[in-house]
Structure 1
Amino acid sequence: MAHPTILPVRTLAPAYDYIVVGSGSGGCAVARRLVEGSDATVLLIEAGPAGLDVAALDDPAAWVPLGRSAYDWGYDYAPTERVNGRTIGIPRGKVLGGSSSINAMMWYRGHPMDYDAWEEAGCEGWSFADVLPFFKRAEDWEDGETALRGAGGPLRIERGAPVHPVADAMLGGAAELGIPVIDDPNGPDNEGAAIANFNISGGKRCSSATGYLRPILAHPRLTVLTGSLAVCLGFEHRHCVSVKHLVEGRLCETRATTQVVLALGAIDTPRLLMQSGIGDPAELYWLGVDVLAALPGVGRNLQDHPLVQSCVFRARQPLGPVVGNGGGTMINWKSSAALPQADLHAFPIQGNGAEARIRELHDLSGEVFSIGCGLMRSKSIGHLRLLGAEPGARMEIQPNYLAEQADLDALIISVETVLDLVQTRAYADWFGGHLAPAPRLSRREIVAYIRNACSTFFHVCGTCAMGAGEMAVTDARLRVRGVEGLTIADASVIPIIPTCNTHAPVTMIGERAADFLLRAA
C-alpha cells in the first residue's frame, strides 16, 4: 500500500522573494513557474495538509465524499426563498492542490467568446487569442499538441476510458435530439455532446499538486508549508511586505522582498483582503478594521453556475462498478437558437446524484442513474460578507441563485431537454421510468422542482474581479489596485464567469500571473 508523501523538512526563513498564499489551481502554477523561471526563493503557504498519495484523493471514483471531509473548508451558501430556504454546501479544497484535489477532475476551458468578453469588459490582453498559449502551457493532452491543445505540460488530460454505457447513451441520445456529437469539447466549438476531458493519469487523479508541485518539491529554492493559516497581510507605506500566518498554532510574520501572491480562491482571498484593510470602507468600518485601500469591489460580483441536481431515473439493469469519476460524457447546447453560444450543460451520473431535498421528497430506492443539468451563462450575481474580522469568523456567502428570471427560464429548458433525452432510442437498454421529477410536468411544477434541486457546480468566482472600473479589484496584470507588491492569481479575479468548470481557467490565470511577475522582475 502506498504511503502518503512527506514534504521536505525546511526551516522557515525570515523572508523569501515571493510568498504564494494558497496552493490551489492558480497557486501551484505560480509557484512552479517562479521556481523554474527565476533564481528566486518561493514560500508556498497552505492551510490544509499535504494530501499527496492519499488513496481517497487519488481515486477518481471517490471524489464525491471529499466534500465535507477533512480536505474541505466546509463552506455553505446562505439560504434564500428562491431555493426554498435550503443551505447549499460549497466544497472548497483545504489541501495541497486546493479544489483540484477534491473536484470531479473536469478539464474544460469553455468557449473562445468567454475570454473575448473579458477583454470587452475592460481586461486588456485577456482575449481568447491572448490566453490560449497559457491554456496550452498547462496541458499534456493525450492526443498531442494541436493549434488548440498543448502537450508536455504539468497536467495530464485524458478522455474517460472506458466510457460507461449509461454515459455513452448520452452521446447517442443527444444526436437523436439534433445536438451534434463532437470529438473534443476543448476544440474549435464547445456546442455538442462529447466524451469529457479529465485530469486523470494512469487511473489516478492528476491534481495541481500532483502535476505542478510534486516534480519540484525537492527544489532548494521552494519551501512548501502546510497546516498554516494566513490571517493578515503586512504593509509598509501601502506596499505589501509580509504575510502573518499561524505556524503550529503560533502567529508568525514572514516577509516577501518582491511580491505576495494571493491564491486562496474566491472565498478566502477576499476574506484575507478585508481582514487586512482592503475592501469596501463601509464594510470595514462595520467590522472595526482600519481602511488601508478603499476597494468596494472586494467580495462583490460573486458568480457560480446553478446546477439542477439532478434528474433521477429507474435503471432497467444493474449499472455495475463505477467507471472513472462516475460521469464520462457531457452535452453543451443552447436554450435558444438565437444565442451566439451554448449556455446549457448536462452530464451523466452513474447512480443517485440527487440533492438532499429531492431524496426526501421522492422514493429513489433501487437501481437508478441520474443526469445533472445546469446553466453555464448564468446572470445572477451575489456577494460575500464577513460577519467578523477575526480569523475563522463566519461569512455570508450568497450566490443569489435564480435571482434573474432569465436563469430560471433557461433551467426549465435544461430539465425539459433531459426528460426528452432519456426517451430516445439510445437509452432503451437503461431507462426504466421517471423517479424525480415525474414526467409531463407543468411549467409551475418544473420550477418547484428546480427550486428544490438547485445546487452548485462548485464554480464560485468573481469576488475580486479584474478590470478598469471603480468596482475592479485588480488591474489587467492581476495587481491589486491602490497598493503595491500584491497580486491575485485565483478564481476571484474572473470578471465574467466562463461557460465551463473553473479549474482550467484558474490554472491559466496562475500561468499568466507567473508570466507577468517574471517579466516584471
Structure 2
Amino acid sequence: MVPTHIESEEVYDYIVCGGGTSGCVIAGRLAEDLNATVLVLEAGPDNADLENVHMAGGWSKNFDSDLDWNIVTEPMTAVDGRQVKCSRGRFLGGSSGVNGTLCIRGIKQDYDDWELKEWTGDKMFGYMAKSETFHGKDWFKAEPSVHGSSGPLHIEPHDLAPISELVRDSMVDQGLPYHPDMFSTGETPHGCGDVPRTVHKGIRSTAADFITKGYRRENITIKTDVTVDKVTLSKSSSDLTVTGVLAISKDGTQTEYRARKEVIISAGAYCSPAILMRSGLGPKDELAKHGIETQVDLPGVGKNLMDHVLCFIFYEVLKPGLTNDHLAYHDNAIASTYQLYQETKSGILSTFPFGIFGFARLDERLKDVPLWRDAPRAPGRDPMGLTPSQPNIEFWNTELYGGPKQFTDFPVDHKHAFALCTLLFNQHSRGSVTLRSKNPLELPVVDHNYLADPLDMLVMTEACRFANEIVMKGKATRDVVKGSWPSDLTHHAFTKREDWEPYVKQQATTCYHASGTCAMGKLDNPNTVLDSRLNVKGVKNLRVADMSSIPTVNNGHTQMVAYGIGEGAAEIIKEDAKTKA
C-alpha cells in the first residue's frame, strides 16, 4: 500500500509519540494546564474494551496478537544461539497493561549513580510515589511515608497463596530476613518482602488511567491505531528545530501533525530509537545503510540496550492446596475461576500469580571465585559496579505453574508445580536496537546480547544455585517439594555453580525491562543521546522520555521507573515552558 499524504491543519502545543506508560503520564500531567493542548499518538487501539488488560490474570492472552509488538531478538551467542520473544503492549497504556503489575522501585543509590541532579534517588522515589494511590490491607505492614495517596495509579498488596508463605519462610531460613515493605522503601539489599501491585478491587490500573476515565480532559486528543514514522525538522542558520511529526494511520494515510512547543517521544526502548533514526538522528553509518540523511550524528542512539535476564526454576509440589494449579489447570477449573472473576472481580484471575520476593547480595558466596575475586572494581563497589546497599539479584516464586509461553508442561493431571525465579541486576552485557529498514511498519532489529560478559554468567549461575538451596534446603519447603518439574530435569540435585550454566543458557529469558537506548547523561559524553532534561542533543523542541532515556537500569523492576520518568519529565517540561515564556 502506498501511503496517502495529508498535510494536517491539526496543531497542538505538545505531541506525545507513544501512549505507553511514560507517555500517558506526561500527557496527563501536561494537560493539567487547561490552556495547553496535547496530542497522544498510539500505534495500537484504545484499551477500554480489552478484557485481558483489565483482568490481570489474562495478561498472556495479549501476547502473540495485534496487541503485542511481537519483537523477537536476534540469535544470541552466549545463550546457545537462542532467540527470545520480547513482548510489549501495543495499545493505550502500553506495557502497563500486560506486565506483572509489580511495584518494585529499586534502591535510591540506583538513581544517584546516574549522577544527574534532576534524577536523584530522592527525586525518583518522590516521582514514583506521586503517581500512586496506595490502598493498604490489615495484614500488610506498610511504611506510609513512602507511598502516594492522590495519583491515578491505584495499588495494593497481594494476598499470598500458601506456597508463597512457605517460600517466604524458607527465604528467611536461608538468610534473607523479612522486611514487609522493602520494595517501596528501597532500603534493603538483602532480604525478602511483599510487593504492592497495580491492581485494586480486582481491576488492573494502567497508565491509560492518567488520560482516560476521571482524567479525560477536553484539551487532550488521543489518536489510536496511528504509528509515528519520524519527526519533522526545520533548519535555520545552525539551529535544527522540530516542528511536528509524520504518522501513518491504520488505513495507510500519512499525516503530518504540528507542534507549537514540543514533541516528546515516549515509544519505549525499542521504538523510540527507531523513530529518532528514521528522522535522521542517530549513528551516521547506521543511517547510511538505509539511505537516511543524517541530520545529527548521535552514535548512542540504539546502543546501551539493557534488560534484566530472568531464569525460571520449576518444582513439583507433593501436597495439594499449596499452589493455585487446581484453580487453573485441573479438570475444567478455569471455567469456574473465570465465572468467579466475572461475578465478583476476585480469584486468581484478579491478580498476577507471583508471590513473595527477595533481594540478595552475593559477595560472600563469590568471594573465593577467581573471576569475582580478581575482577577490577571501583572503590566501595563490587565487580558488578554495585555498592553494599544495592542487591546483585532478585528472587520470587510463582503461585502456580506458569511463565513465558514456551513453558508448556502444564500440571493438568492433578499435579502441582511452581517456579522460583532468579533475576540478574546490573548486567555488564549491552545490546542494541537498529533499523531493519526505514519503513515505520517494520519492526527494529533487537539484539539483547544476554550473558555475553563472563561476570554476568557467573552471578546468574550462582544466583540460581542460591535459589535452588532456598527451595531444597529451606525448612518450610524442603519437605513439600519432590524436585524438578517436569521430572526429567535434575536441577534440584545441582550442587556446583558450574552445573547451572547449561541450564541458564537453555532457560534464560527476558524480564521485559528493556532500557537505555536513548540514554541521557553529561553533554561531553559522545554516547549520550539526551541531556539531563531529556532534550535530544543538537535539536530544539524534542525530548525522549521513557525507559530508553535512563543511563543504567535500576536494580528492581521498571514499571514504577517508567511512571517516575513520566512524572519527572512533565515537571521539567512545565519548568522549561515558564523559562521560555
When normalised by structure 1's length, the TM-score is: 0.92
Q: Shift of the alpha carbon at 1:491?
A: 0.5
Q: 2:464 aligns with which of 408, 412, 415?
A: 415
Q: Does 385-394 or 367-376 show the bigger shift? A: 385-394
| Kept in 1: contact 2:163–2:399 (CA 8 A) | yes
Aligned with residue 245 of structure 1, among 244, 247, 250: 247
How far did 1:38 drift?
4.8
State which of 146, 149, 155 in structure 2 corresponds to 1:148.
146
Tell me which of 488, 497, 501 is aligned to 2:544.
Answer: 488
- Tell me the CA shift for residue 212 of structure 1: 4.8
Whether the 8 Å CA contact 1:437–1:449 is kept in 2: the answer is no
CA RMSD of aligned residues (A): 2.1
Structure 1 segment 101-500 matched on structure 2, within 5 A: 101-119=97-115, 123-143=116-136, 146-160=144-158, 162-184=159-181, 185-191=183-189, 192-217=191-216, 219-237=217-235, 238-247=240-249, 248-318=251-321, 319=323, 320-321=326-327, 323=348, 324-337=351-364, 340=388, 341-353=390-402, 366-423=415-472, 424-427=474-477, 430-435=480-485, 436-441=489-494, 442-468=496-522, 469-500=525-556
Question: Post-superposition shift, 1:452?
Answer: 0.3
Distance 1:52 1:357 in 2: 29
Report Cα offsets for 1:213-242 as digits up to 9, x if no partner: 33232x221101101111121011111111
Matched, 1:506 2:562: yes
Equivalent pair of 2:13/2:37 in contact (CA under 8 Å): yes
**1:7 corresponds to:** none
Residue among 75, 81, 102 paired with 1:79: 75
Distance 1:156 1:212, change over 3 A: farther
Q: Which letter does structure 2 place at the counterpart of 1:459?
A: H
Tell me the CA shift for residue 470 of structure 1. Answer: 0.8
Are the aligned partners of 2:143 and 2:185 in contact in 1 as well (CA < 8 Å)?
no
Aligned-partner SS, 1:159: coil
Assess, with a 3 A threshold, how the Cα gap between structure 1 residues 356 and 106 changes in structure 2: closer, same or farther: closer
SS at match of 1:413: helix
How many residues align? The count is 504
Distance 1:356 1:36, change over 3 A: closer
C-alpha distance in 2 between matches for 1:356 and 1:47: 24
Distance 1:261 1:176, change over 3 A: same
2:65 aligned with 1:69, yes or no?
A: yes
Q: What is the rounded CA distance, in whole Å, between the counterparts of 2:272 and 2:443 in structure 1? A: 15
Task: Give 1 or 2 for the bigger CA radius of gyration.
Answer: 2
Identity percentage over the alignment?
A: 28
What is the alpha-carbon distance in structure 1 between the residues aligned to residue 64 and residue 407 of structure 2?
19
Are the aligned partners of 2:15 and 2:41 in contact in 1 as well (CA < 8 Å)?
yes
Alpha carbons 2:314, 2:417 under 8 Å: kept: no
Q: Is the 8 A contact 1:76 1:89 kept in 2?
A: yes
SS in 2 for 1:198: coil
| Unmatched tracts of structure 2, length 5 or more | 1-7, 137-141, 329-347, 365-381
Please say if residues 301 and 463 of structure 1, whose CA atoms lie closer than 8 Å, have aligned partners that are also in contact: yes
Partner amino acid, structure 1, of 2:233: F
Give the counterpart letter for 1:488 in structure 2. V
Aligned to 2:344: none
Q: TM-score when scaled to structure 2?
A: 0.83
Aligned-partner Cα distance in 1 for 2:541–2:304: 24
Structure 2 distance, partners of 1:355, 1:93, is 15
Q: Distance in 2 between matches of 1:37 and 1:346?
A: 42
User: Offset at 1:413?
Assistant: 1.6
Once the two structures are TM-superposed, the CA of residue 429 in structure 1 deviates from its matched residue by 6.5
Mark the CA change 1:351 to 1:13 in structure 2 (over 3 Å): closer, same or farther: farther
SS of 2:145's equivalent?
A: coil
C-alpha distance in structure 2 between counterparts of 1:274 and 1:62, whole Å: 35
Q: Distance in 1 between matches of 2:60 and 2:411?
A: 21
**CA deviation vs aligned residue, 1:77-115 (integer Å, no higher than 9, x gap):** 111231122210001110010100111111111001100
Question: Alpha-carbon deviation of 1:310?
Answer: 3.3
Given that 2:101 and 2:198 are in contact with CA atoms closer than 8 Å, whether structure 1 keeps it comes out as yes
Separation in structure 2 between the aligned mates of residue 216 and residue 500 of structure 1, nearest angstrom: 29
Counterparts of 2:403 and 2:52, CA distance in 1: 22
Structure 1 residues 461-470 or 381-390, which shifts more? Answer: 381-390
Following the alignment from structure 1 to structure 2, what is the Cα–Cα distance between the partners of residues 70 and 433? 38
Rounded Cα–Cα distance in structure 1 between residues aligned with 2:316 and 2:362 = 23
Deviation at 1:167, TM superposition (A): 1.6
